[in-house]
Structure 1
């Protein structure tokens, strides 16, 4: 059956995690190259506007939520907008006369373009078309959700991991979608071992085993349903030491990738990603996972007590391993025509493990029309040249918009200052003891010095942990 061309603007995209948003502050974002602002109105409804004030085209995301009525105020000239997008106050017109303001407010030109919004599974979803037709069309469509997780009882979820990790990457959408669809990436062997040891799941996964290179991709598109880009069965060992697990994998455009691992008695684990095209050269990833199966009580208690930022640091490490070369791979893939249409000639995909990439590329360049920008008839633009620090910039790509990580970073910064202050005070105390005639090797003089050295040592450890929230270089050549 001939599939209809994919229309990129007639689907739901998740753009934010609700718990990461501040209801008192507008959130600036992008989608398909369009500048948007997400905010919460007086009725506690999340709204999405085009991030342009109709007055003088200033960004509304630089405005504020007016406390008196919950409207969105443009900080440039004070215009205010309600949840429908209509202006509700124009101070300059009101200064002229009440009638002048009423006339200005009644004009459609004073309205902001609005986009349909819904909240599901803790995510804010946006439909990237505006106008009355968009609200009608979007109401008939559902976002791509993990239906099993949506239907499972909360008490049956034994463990959540990754905890709605969000990061914006300076890499083209098709390359990042392809990358996440491919579990045969060699760089993850060391990283998966690091994550497993860190979470105390195993202390042996760094050892070589017969499963270290075991990847079997079978049944490509056998279970493909309407709306799927690809499906396949994957047999592999996530920690490279235990016997392989069997996963059902599917990619559902425009954004959803799911890894489903069935267990006995209807139990399962599910890992999923949303890959969202912000603009031609940047992509947002949202990642979450759940375990629905019996686990030891101690494991559940420890997992529930861990802070969210621990999962995020591990995921930043994993993604940095990919980003270290993906930007160049993206540029290489588009060097001929700007859209990667020569992939069939440029890629050599001889192994069965390449099946996921093959399935994605066939869909993307056929039904997907080569992506939103090519399908829209736009000219390709070259990707910006980035420094290493810009490519692996954890702070601007993740930390600044993650409350858990930004709080942890601030605590580390404060703690480091306090430790250095303590070290200085202890050294002064030691000097005072020496000034009173205490022997240099006495407890009175040596103890403060030792305490100061310990404080400085710990402050340096804090500095190292602090860097993990900001920038950490990833050099594949220096890793086993």
Structure 2
């Protein structure tokens, strides 16, 4: 009987020696004295591995003449992992500047208060999959694969009473901050204790913490990375921990929102840090300090960098010196890596924050978090969270198609330019940005080009040199219903919106029932010549029908709602024509 060991690696050719060392460790661990791997198979596997590693990926199969013994299994307790540097883009050899390490950072993945604690959540960051769950006491995060057969743990069963997550494939149970294996149903009674103590039986734990309403995870799982996680702060906003903000948060006046976006994190950063598109794209959709943002009332923004240049660790801050819908005492827009954008406005004692966290999931996909906070009550604070969420979803739908298409055009043009002049393929050459309002876009693209060369956020897919242009993103989504979906991108994650959708749907069906019953009763009253009663019942039927119709239209916002810029800006077009005709 042969024992099959599968080793799958994603690595450059520099790791061939390390991989061969791993094979030698496997040889000594799995083969008892006097039993060796099939030498021809071993030589073939090593040869295939060396060849495949030079191409970027490898899968090698080793065979033994006999199954591994328990003694041999006890010897093999290590896990062969590749260095984390292969996630990083190539260094900018022309400048020699230090590159930002995207793995050595905290990323928000869930809203800590509203995320469902009764089930596991599958999240993706930088192309990697993680399982985030609540054990009844604290949030935990593991790499999303069971050590038994690599099934996704995010499909598992959470037991908040036993503080465990159980793999739904074979029932292995794990728990604690270290991913300790607590049960293996298939193991014999005499072997369970030994088997669960083996390091290979444990889930791979990921550092996890809760700060300012968000669940954060750390990606660098090397010993050096784990040590760094203990001394590195997430990109939180210290001012939000001050009493004025804590008071309004305790009163439920802060809004938290999360949505998955159908475009990459680079495009999300660029779109979210651009305040100049708001009065055009979101015409009449936003009120700022009592003034409605529209094309007719908003002046051009005069924006400058606060510092002379961008910083790898601190990012940058831009100052709005003039423009906008109304003057502020101060108005700044800032970026801090790996993905925090912050709008801060102040007028008198009122300080408003709009904080965005942009999380790279994979090419063409990102997760967006919003926290809106103020030191003083806002007029709309009394609205339920689900009402504010439906408005935010509709607001984001208004410009959804632009970054989705834009990033594909950018990558294709950049790939074409790189084939002719690699060093000139920068966003400054591809975009034409003559206005001061374009300063934050230039700054964020300059930061990416300088510290995340060649201007993209790395992950398992887009560092592959075979993939050029927008091929890593796939074709653009042509179905507006899938592109602007509210259910798959937000509602299914949000308990406020799911609850509102369920309750309003029940009310809609009740209104339909009232309308049908009243109309049939009205007809019966007419037949019995009770005119007064028939009129009342007819009115009840009409009101029930109108309510049901309104609820049907409104609840569609939780699923899908289209948007037309042409229809939204008819008032501006008519006003402009009237001015021209004067």
The Cα shift of 1:286 comes to 0.6
In structure 1, the residue corresponding to 2:451 is in which secondary structure? Answer: coil
The 1:37–1:348 alpha-carbon spacing in structure 2 relative to 1, beyond 3 Å, is same
Q: Which structure exhibits the higher relative contact order, with contacts defined as CA atoms closer than 8 Å and separated by 6 or more residues?
A: 1
The Cα shift of 1:399 comes to 0.7
Tell whether 2:138 aligns with 1:45. Answer: yes
> Which residue of the partner structure matches residue 349 of structure 1?
433
Aligned 8 A contact 1:228 1:250 in 2: no
1:208 aligned to which of 292, 296, 301: 296
TM-score (norm 1): 0.88
Show CA shifts across 1:70-115 (max 9, x none): 200111111100122121101011xxx2122223212222221111
Aligned-CA RMSD value: 2.7
In structure 1, the residue corresponding to 2:169 is in which secondary structure? Answer: coil
Tell whether 2:203 aligns with 1:112. Answer: yes
In structure 1, the residue corresponding to 2:123 is in which secondary structure? Answer: strand
Tell whether 2:422 aligns with 1:328. Answer: no
2:515 aligned to which of 423, 428, 445: 423
1:286 aligned to which of 369, 382, 396: 369
Q: Distance in 1 between matches of 2:117 and 2:369?
A: 20
Q: Distance in 2 between matches of 1:162 and 1:395?
A: 23
The Cα shift of 1:278 comes to 1.1
Tell whether 2:451 aligns with 1:367. Answer: yes
The Cα shift of 1:424 comes to 1.1
Q: Distance in 2 between matches of 1:348 and 1:192?
A: 23
Aligned 8 A contact 1:26 1:61 in 2: yes
The Cα shift of 1:290 comes to 1.5
Show CA shifts across 1:150-179 (max 9, x none): 234456548876711111101011011011
The Cα shift of 1:466 comes to 0.5
The 1:450–1:474 alpha-carbon spacing in structure 2 relative to 1, beyond 3 Å, is same
Q: Distance in 1 between matches of 2:510 and 2:133?
A: 37
> Which residue of the partner structure matches residue 100 of structure 2?
6
Aligned 8 A contact 1:181 1:356 in 2: yes
Q: How many positions carry a matched residue from both structures?
A: 458
The Cα shift of 1:119 comes to 0.7
In structure 2, the residue corresponding to 1:193 is in which secondary structure? Answer: coil
Tell whether 2:319 aligns with 1:233. Answer: yes
The 1:189–1:292 alpha-carbon spacing in structure 2 relative to 1, beyond 3 Å, is farther
In structure 2, the residue corresponding to 1:404 is in which secondary structure? Answer: helix
Q: After alignment, is 160-169 or 251-260 more displaced?
A: 160-169
> Which residue of the partner structure matches residue 20 of structure 1?
114
Q: Distance in 1 between matches of 2:197 and 2:133?
A: 23
The Cα shift of 1:131 comes to 4.9
The Cα shift of 1:282 comes to 0.6
Aligned 8 A contact 1:214 1:235 in 2: no
Show CA shifts across 1:276-319 (max 9, x none): 001111111111122124x5xxxx5x644310122212221221
1:134-283 alignment runs, 5 A limit = 134-154=225-245, 156-157=247-248, 163-185=255-277, 188-189=279-280, 191=282, 193-196=284-287, 208-209=296-297, 212-219=298-305, 221-222=307-308, 227-235=313-321, 240=325, 242-243=326-327, 246-264=330-348, 268-283=351-366
The 1:26–1:338 alpha-carbon spacing in structure 2 relative to 1, beyond 3 Å, is farther
Aligned 8 A contact 1:161 1:311 in 2: no
The 1:382–1:27 alpha-carbon spacing in structure 2 relative to 1, beyond 3 Å, is closer
Q: Distance in 2 between matches of 1:307 and 1:357?
A: 34
Q: Distance in 1 between matches of 2:450 and 2:499?
A: 45
Tell whether 2:510 aligns with 1:401. Answer: no
> Which residue of the partner structure matches residue 128 of structure 2?
34
> Which residue of the partner structure matches residue 175 of structure 2?
82
Aligned 8 A contact 1:324 1:474 in 2: no
In structure 1, the residue corresponding to 2:367 is in which secondary structure? Answer: strand
The Cα shift of 1:229 comes to 2.6
> Which residue of the partner structure matches residue 448 of structure 1?
537
Q: Distance in 1 between matches of 2:344 and 2:147?
A: 46
Tell whether 2:217 aligns with 1:126. Answer: yes
> Which residue of the partner structure matches residue 61 of structure 1?
154
Q: After alignment, is 12-21 or 147-156 more displaced?
A: 147-156
Q: Distance in 2 between matches of 1:165 and 1:3?
A: 36
The Cα shift of 1:56 comes to 2.2
> Which residue of the partner structure matches residue 458 of structure 1?
547
Aligned 8 A contact 1:115 1:131 in 2: no
Q: Distance in 2 between matches of 1:374 and 1:121?
A: 27
Q: Distance in 1 between matches of 2:567 and 2:252?
A: 32
Unaligned runs of 5+ in 2: 1-94, 419-424, 570-582
> Which residue of the partner structure matches residue 69 of structure 2?
none
In structure 1, the residue corresponding to 2:398 is in which secondary structure? Answer: helix
1:411 aligned to which of 503, 509, 512: 503
Aligned 8 A contact 2:255 2:385 in 1: yes
Tell whether 2:528 aligns with 1:436. Answer: yes
